[in-house]
């Protein structure tokens, strides 16, 4: 049997099933991160497609999966609120070019030298702000603009939610989503191959439709109408604040991606990550995302772990997961309109807790 045939058979046996699992994990997260960032859900799916088809095809790490990440949600929401959605393209484009430059100059090893405690502290702060913001969505309320105000207003939010039947319904749907996602991961046997977040969001959507619950759902506008290519927006780079935001995106995305790569390397016995090449791959992916005007991407540990645990052996699994996302965003975007926002808030609160280093606390 020829080598290409053997390779095709191996992909069909291991990487194809793994790609479907990663696609199912990525789908609700891509939409949820986009909505939490203040941009249309379709842009999150576009970033997931780029993470699979572009970054996934490049050398670096063979098994980690890239896409929009909860760890960047707070930064993106702040940038969108300050400079507008149109500025997102130039910011992400510059961030990607910076990552390519850092990788070409072999700065990957310097990111490895950053203390794990520093990164955990950074992600903890982001996780807490993400959770606080999504608690407002969970209760069907409008979140304050600043992080301090979000935290300070939680008591008032709880009081208001307790006096509104609509808010209580939204909270029930969101909490139900979290419970299903957590409990599903604890089931024995092959049931865990189906992602708990997908099961939870599907159940919440079905219940909302069947019971005709008065909940806001994802606003779907069509892919072509939400894409904002950066070519016509490059003049915004004259703003020092925009450039500073791009640098912050590049540094946070690079640190999160390379720490994710280190964690994924410990999960399997295959080839190790070439950190400088992975940094370049992330930069190329973010440059493409910037040209398209979509969200920034990083390597995401949740999807990467799902990829390894599903039995992936080569980068084919992550490329194929990008194909499935592309098929979905091209053929079935209207399905997103069935998802209630409190369910996505529940998914992101769950993701925010995963950013907290609870396992290392005494």
Q: How far apart are CA 267 and CA 308, in angstroms?
A: 7
Structure-model confidence comparison of residues 21 and 362, the more confident one:
21
| Tokens of residue 33, six digits | 């991160």
What pLDDT is recorded for position 194? 77
Residue 361 pLDDT grade (very low, low, confident, very high; cuts 50, 70, 90): very low
Domain residue ranges in the chain? 3-360
**Mean pLDDT of all residues in 52-76:** 89
Q: How many CB atoms lie within 10 A of CB 231?
A: 11
Query: Which residues have C-beta within 8 Å of that of residue 343, sequence separation ≥ 6?
Result: 173, 174, 177, 200, 201, 204, 205, 208
Residue 132 pLDDT grade (very low, low, confident, very high; cuts 50, 70, 90): confident
Provide the 3-class DSSP secondary structure of residue 298.
Answer: strand
Structure-model confidence comparison of residues 294 and 353, the more confident one:
294
Residues 143-172: tens digit of each pLDDT: 776 667 777 788 888 887 777 888 899 999
What pLDDT is recorded for position 250? 94
The 8-class DSSP code of residue 11 comes to I
Of 44, 63, 22, 10, which is closest to residue 293 (Cα–Cα)?
Answer: 44
Of 55, 29, 91, which is closest to residue 292 (Cα–Cα)?
Answer: 91
Of 94, 357, 64, 351, which is closest to residue 201 (Cα–Cα)?
Answer: 351
**Mean pLDDT of all residues in 37-64:** 91
Distance of CA 326 to the CA centre of its chain: 16
Long-range own/partner contacts, residues 287-290 (CB < 8 A, 24 or more apart): 287/92, 287/93, 287/96, 287/97, 287/100, 288/50, 288/54, 288/96, 289/46, 289/47, 289/50, 289/92, 289/93, 289/96, 290/89, 290/90, 290/91, 290/92, 290/93, 290/94, 290/95, 290/96, 290/230
Residues 170-215: tens digit of each pLDDT: 999 999 999 998 898 888 777 767 788 888 999 999 999 999 999 8
**Mean pLDDT of all residues in 251-267:** 85
Q: How far apart are CA 104 and CA 94, in angstroms?
A: 15
Structure-model confidence comparison of residues 261 and 235, the more confident one:
261
Asked whether residue 11 carries a pLDDT value surpassing 70, the answer given is no
What pLDDT is recorded for position 69? 86
The 8-class DSSP code of residue 233 comes to G
Query: Which residues have C-beta within 8 Å of that of residue 252, sequence separation ≥ 6?
Result: 71, 72, 75, 122, 298
User: Is-contact 192 158, C-beta < 8 A?
Assistant: no
pTM: 0.84
| Tokens of residue 5, six digits | 């045939």
Structure-model confidence comparison of residues 362 and 275, the more confident one:
275
With b meaning 16 or more CB within 10 Å and e meaning fewer, what string describes 192-221? eeebbbbbbbbbbbebbeeeebebebbebe
What pLDDT is recorded for position 256? 85
What pLDDT is recorded for position 144? 72
Share of the chain above pLDDT 70, in %: 87
């Amino acid at each position: 049997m020829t080598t290409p045939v053997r390779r095709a058979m191996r992909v069909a046996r291991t990487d194809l099933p793994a790609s479907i699992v990663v696609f199912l994990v990525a789908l609700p997260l891509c939409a949820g991160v986009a909505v939490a960032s203040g941009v249309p859900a379709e842009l999150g799916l576009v970033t997931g497609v780029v993470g699979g088809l572009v970054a996934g095809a490049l050398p670096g790490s063979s098994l980690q999966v890239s896409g929009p990440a909860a760890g960047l949600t707070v930064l993106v929401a702040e940038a969108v609120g300050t400079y507008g959605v149109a500025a997102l393209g130039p910011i992400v484009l510059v961030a990607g070019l910076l990552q390519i430059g850092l990788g070409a100059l072999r700065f990957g090893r310097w990111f490895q030298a950053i203390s794990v405690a520093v990164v955990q502290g950074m992600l903890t702060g982001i996780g807490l702000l993400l959770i606080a913001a999504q608690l407002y969505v969970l209760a069907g309320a409008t979140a304050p603009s600043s992080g301090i105000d979000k935290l300070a207003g939680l008591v008032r939010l709880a009081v208001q939610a307790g006096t509104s039947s609509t808010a209580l319904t939204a909270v029930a749907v969101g909490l139900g989503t979290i419970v299903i996602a957590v409990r599903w991961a604890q089931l024995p046997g092959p049931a865990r191959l189906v992602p708990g977040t997908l099961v939870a969001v599907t159940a919440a959507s079905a219940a909302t439709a069947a019971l005709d619950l008065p909940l806001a759902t994802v606003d779907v506008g069509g892919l072509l109408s939400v894409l904002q290519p950066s070519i016509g927006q490059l003049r915004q780079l004259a703003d020092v604040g925009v450039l500073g935001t791009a640098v912050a995106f590049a540094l946070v995305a690079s640190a999160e991606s390379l720490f994710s790569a280190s964690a994924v390397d410990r999960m399997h016995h295959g080839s190790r990550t070439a950190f400088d090449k992975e940094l370049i791959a992330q930069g190329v992916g973010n440059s493409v995302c910037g040209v398209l005007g979509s969200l920034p991407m990083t390597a995401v540990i949740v999807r990467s772990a799902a990829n390894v645990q599903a039995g992936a052996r080569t980068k084919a699994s992550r490329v194929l997961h990008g194909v499935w996302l592309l098929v979905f965003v091209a053929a079935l975007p209207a399905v997103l309109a069935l998802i209630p926002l409190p369910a996505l808030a529940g998914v992101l609160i769950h993701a925010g807790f995963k950013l907290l280093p609870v396992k290392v606390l005494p």
